[in-house]
Amino acid sequence: MIPTKEEMIKALEERHGKETQNRFFAATVAICGLGGLGSNIAVSLARAGIGKLILIDFDRVDITNLHRQQYKAAQIGEYKTEALRQNLQEIAPYVEIETHAVRMEEGNIEGLLKEADIICEAFDKAHMKAMLVNTVLEKLPQTVLISGSGMAGFGSANSIKTRKVMKHFYLCGDEISDVNDGIGLVSSRVMLCAAHEAHKVLQILSGAEVK
């Protein structure tokens, strides 16, 4: 039996406090890339009761994604946008979800992201991360941007960090561990980095961030 919207709101308010929860409900967060980072960020934010999630990824679920991404074996071949929408709606049925199954490029970024209060960069390719970060910081300088870089391999969990690079721009990860060095991606360490990104979103929205 799926709880009513009122029951879900009440449960979230009990956990986070009414004032904080109202800030979460009022927020729109965009997630760029729905792989190991993005799908895990989305689950955290949907559970926390963020009002609206904008999910962007051109790709489909592949068997090689299942070891770290929040998809199910039966969803192989589906667009990640639709598969994740379905999974999030099972977890948090009253979160508003907007999806775009498109490849992000300099020309469409502003249009896709202009409604977002906070943007999470969650791509896997380094040049795509750089392209998104450069474009957002140039074209949407008032929007908070949180990016992830460096979470490959079996290195220490404790080396994944969040730091403020500049006003409105945060970077999560160890900034070193490159998947191209042949060290692979492990679910636990990717989830740590995703959790850093999601936590920075919630911390900023809650107003608890130390300036």
Q: Which residues bind another protein (CB under 8 A)?
A: 33, 35-38, 122-127, 129-131, 133-134, 137-138, 141, 147-152, 165-167, 169, 171, 173, 175-180, 185, 190
Q: Residue 98 burial by CB count (10 A; 0-12/13-18/19+): exposed, middle or buried?
A: middle
Considering the complex, state which of residue 53 and residue 145 has its C-beta at the smaller distance from another protein: 145
Kindly state the smallest distance separating residue 93's Cβ from another protein, in Å.
Answer: 27
Kindly state the smallest distance separating residue 31's Cβ from another protein, in Å.
Answer: 11
For the four alpha carbons of 130, 134, 137 and 143, in that order, the dihedral sign comes to: negative
Assess contact for 95 and 120: CB atoms under 8 A.
no
Kindly state the smallest distance separating residue 50's Cβ from another protein, in Å.
Answer: 20
**All residues at 6 or more sequence positions from 120 whose CB lies less than 8 Å from its CB, including other chains:** 29, 30, 31, 32, 37, 38, 41, 146, 147, 148, 197, 198, 201
Nearest Cα to 173, choosing from 184, 187, 157, 185?
157
Considering the complex, state which of residue 4 and residue 188 has its C-beta at the smaller distance from another protein: 188
Kindly state the smallest distance separating residue 172's Cβ from another protein, in Å.
Answer: 11
Considering the complex, state which of residue 159 and residue 206 has its C-beta at the smaller distance from another protein: 159
Residue recorded with tokens 């074209």: 139
Considering the complex, state which of residue 20 and residue 135 has its C-beta at the smaller distance from another protein: 135
Q: Could you give the angle at which helices 36-48 and 80-91 cross, rounded to 10 degrees? A: 30
Neighbours of 41 (CB within 10 A): 31
Assess contact for 145 and 131: CB atoms under 8 A.
no
Kindly state the smallest distance separating residue 33's Cβ from another protein, in Å.
Answer: 6
Considering the complex, state which of residue 25 and residue 123 has its C-beta at the smaller distance from another protein: 123
Considering the complex, state which of residue 15 and residue 114 has its C-beta at the smaller distance from another protein: 114
Assess contact for 51 and 28: CB atoms under 8 A.
yes
Kindly state the smallest distance separating residue 2's Cβ from another protein, in Å.
Answer: 32
